[in-house]
């Protein structure tokens, strides 16, 4: 049994270097192309279908899932635990915003203190870890697809690999990169493989 966790394709705000958080921003043309290429990478490995699909309710995630799986999102199980990190007042601001909060969010996550309404990376790691523990308790098919976001996937690595916040930027998660998870025998998952979009960028939340 394997779980394929994919980050969505490039969104219009990724393209414009704007923090979107949980704003519902569509994929760019490049994001659609990235999702099509991710589908081809999976097909090249003989992965032609998924027995179950979970997705963040944000369209950049579920549209990526539609392209990758060939299924309409109405057949997906939408789960708010898969949404992107809440960034409070950083939402909608340029990556180039000169504030200390933005600089820490982008470059020094160990120093990042969320603005009102935001989550810390530890908060997000607890949310991601709780979802993974819940998922491990399901009767899953041979292959399950999970469609989510950059911040969530960094938090996933914090939860299952014990990474600290200061380590997460050392592990880029480019658009449409896929992490393949397998049960760890302890009620959660471990990373079995990474199917990377080598031509992509590690654009932020």
108 is catalytic: no
84 in catalytic set: yes
The answer to whether 9 and 27 have CB atoms below 8 angstroms apart is yes
Rounded to whole angstroms, what are the CA distances from 164 to 69, 161, 168, 205?
33, 9, 7, 18
Among the listed residues 8, 73, 149, 154, the single catalytic one is 8
Residues sharing a CB contact under 8 Å with residue 8, sequence separation 6 or more, in sequence order:
27, 31, 35, 56, 58, 60, 61, 63, 64, 147, 148, 149, 175, 176
Choose the catalytic residue: 66, 73, 84, 86: 84
Nearest-CA neighbor of 84 among 115, 58, 66?
A: 58
Tokens of 89: 């007042």
Nearest to 126 by CA among 159, 160, 165: 159
Catalytic residues: 8, 84
């Amino acid at each position: 049994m394997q779980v394929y966790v994919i980050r969505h394709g490039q969104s219009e705000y990724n393209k414009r270097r704007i923090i979107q958080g949980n704003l519902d921003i569509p994929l760019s043309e490049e994001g659609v192309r990235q999702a099509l290429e991710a589908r081809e990478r999976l097909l090249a490995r003989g992965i032609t279908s998924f027995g179950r699909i979970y997705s963040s309710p944000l369209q950049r995630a579920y549209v990526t899932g539609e392209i990758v799986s060939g299924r309409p999102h109405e057949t997906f199980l939408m789960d708010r635990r898969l949404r992107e990190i809440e960034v409070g007042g950083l939402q909608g601001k340029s990556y180039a915003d000169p504030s200390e909060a933005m600089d820490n969010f982008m470059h020094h996550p160990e120093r990042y203190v969320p603005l009102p309404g935001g989550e810390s990376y530890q908060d997000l790691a607890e949310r991601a870890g709780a979802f993974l523990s819940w998922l491990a308790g399901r009767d899953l098919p041979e292959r399950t697809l999970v469609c989510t976001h950059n911040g969530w996937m960094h938090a996933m690595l914090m939860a299952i690999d014990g990474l600290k916040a200061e380590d997460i930027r050392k592990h880029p998660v480019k658009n449409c990169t896929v992490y393949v998870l397998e049960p760890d025998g302890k009620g959660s998952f471990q990373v079995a493989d990474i199917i990377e979009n080598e031509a992509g960028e590690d654009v932020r939340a």
